[in-house]
């Protein structure tokens, strides 16, 4: 009897995970050569040099740390020691704000560009030039003009989420089938009602695809942005733990960033399935 493809894929996934964890465990178990040294100096050098234990945490260390974070996600012991949950909440909050601002700007502007060949041509050079700029290149300008690191991060999220949504909305609106528009015209549907009952549903799959690309980019960028501006957020957490030489926490953060990114992506994918229509 053959198990379904899904079940077999799951089995292979678990196998790959097990192999990876085992290899990781073995690789971080061994002890290297040790040196005899002055106890004061040994303190500075850490466990790697004195006991031969690898500084790279094994899967069990990481698991234990994850458990610690899960037990106390929201503790706050001052600026350099906050729970992972708090840091994540800061990052998600920034992404949400910048992203929503971008939605509010990109979708109406995309509608305008998509519906007006004049605006489409007039704004195209600006979009073409600004779109390929790395969002982090805006950071100094944002810091200088906004003078607030948190807001600057939000601005950077805004600017990086803007383009995919803008371009996709404009494209989706411009390529609404003319026969659907003609249906609305022959029914004397006004421009506003037409926008909401014909153009929006027809362009929605393309728009949501843009939104999905944007949320992915925003989540990529927030980590880098928070490393730059510091203070709070999962990006800052990674940087801070690197400075603390806590590789365990860095690995935990990488996992958490991946999981949250996946959830954001899946949420938009689900929205996409809601608005797609079969033809």
Partner 1 sequence: MTDPVISIEGIAKRYGAKGHPASGGASTTIFENLWLKVNRGEFVCVIGHSGCGKTTILNILAGLDRPSEGVVLVEGRELAGPGLDRAVIFQGHALLPWRTVLGNVAYAVSSRWRRAPKAEVEERARRAIAAVGLAGAEHKRPAELSGGMKQRVGIARALAIEPKMLLMDEPFSALDALTRGTLQEEARRICRDTGQTVYMITHDVDEAIYLADRIVLMTNGPGARIAEIVINPLAADRSRSGLHHDPAYYSLRNHLMDFLVARSSAFREAPPDGYDPRHPPIVTLHHSQSGALRAMT
What residues make contact with partner 1 under the rule CB under 8 A? 179-180, 182-183, 185-189, 197-198, 201-202, 275, 277-279
d(CA 59, CA 250): 13
Q: Minimum Å distance from CB 196 to partner 1?
A: 12
Q: Which is nearer to partner 1, 109 or 198 (CB)?
A: 198
Quote the CA–CA distance of 96 and 113 in Å, as a whole number.
25
DSSP single-letter state for residue 3: P
Between 82 and 194, whose beta carbon lies closer to partner 1? Answer: 194
Q: How far is the CB of 273 from partner 1 (least distance, A)?
A: 13
The answer to whether 127 and 159 are in contact (CB under 8 A) is no
Smallest separation, CB 179 to partner 1 (Å): 4
Closest separation between CB of residue 277 and partner 1, Å?
Answer: 4
Minimum distance of partner 1 from residue 166's CB (angstroms): 23
Contacts for 203 with CB less than 8 Å, ≥ 6 apart? 114, 169, 172, 173, 175, 176
Instruction: Name the 3-class secondary structure at 31.
Output: strand
Smallest gap from Cβ 197 to partner 1, in A, equals: 7
Distance CA 89, CA 236 (A): 12
Integer Cα distance of 49 and 53 in angstroms? 8
Backbone dihedral angles phi then psi of residue 79, each to the nearest 5 degrees? -60, -30
Q: Between 50 and 197, name the residue whose CB sits nearer to partner 1.
A: 197
Between 4 and 186, name the residue whose CB sits nearer to partner 1: 186
Rounded CA gap, 147 and 154, in Å? 12
Cβ proximity to partner 1, 146 vs 189, nearer residue: 189
Q: What are phi and psi of 158, to 5 degrees?
A: -55, -50
Alpha carbons 2 and 58: distance in angstroms, whole number? 36
Q: Which is nearer to partner 1, 121 or 185 (CB)?
A: 185
């Amino acid at each position: 009897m053959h198990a379904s493809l899904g079940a077999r894929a799951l089995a292979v996934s678990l196998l790959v995970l097990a192999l990876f964890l085992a290899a990781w465990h073995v690789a971080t178990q061994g002890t290297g050569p040790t040196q005899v040294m002055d106890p004061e100096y040994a303190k500075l050098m850490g466990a790697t040099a004195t006991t031969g234990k690898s500084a790279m945490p094994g899967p069990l260390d990481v698991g234990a740390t994850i458990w610690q974070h899960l037990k106390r996600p929201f503790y706050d012991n001052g600026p350099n020691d906050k729970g992972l949950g708090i840091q994540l909440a800061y990052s998600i909050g920034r992404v949400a704000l910048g992203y929503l601002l971008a939605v509010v700007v990109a979708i109406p502007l995309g509608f305008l560009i998509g519906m007006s060949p004049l605006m489409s041509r007039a704004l195209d050079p600006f979009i073409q030039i600004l779109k390929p700029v790395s969002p982090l290149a805006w950071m100094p300008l944002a810091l200088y003009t906004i003078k607030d690191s948190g807001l600057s991060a939000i601005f950077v999220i805004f600017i990086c989420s803007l383009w995919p949504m803008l371009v996709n909305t404009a494209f989706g609106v411009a390529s609404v089938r003319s026969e659907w528009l003609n249906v609305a015209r022959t029914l004397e549907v006004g421009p506003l009602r037409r926008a909401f009952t014909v153009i929006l549903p027809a362009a929605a799959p393309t728009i949501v695809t843009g939104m999905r690309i944007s949320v992915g980019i925003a989540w990529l960028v927030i980590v880098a942005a928070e490393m730059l501006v510091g203070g709070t957020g999962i990006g800052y957490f990674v940087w801070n733990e690197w400075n603390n030489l806590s590789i365990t926490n860095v690995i935990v953060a990488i996992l958490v960033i991946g999981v949250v990114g996946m959830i954001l992506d899946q949420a938009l994918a689900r929205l996409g399935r809601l608005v797609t229509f079969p033809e």
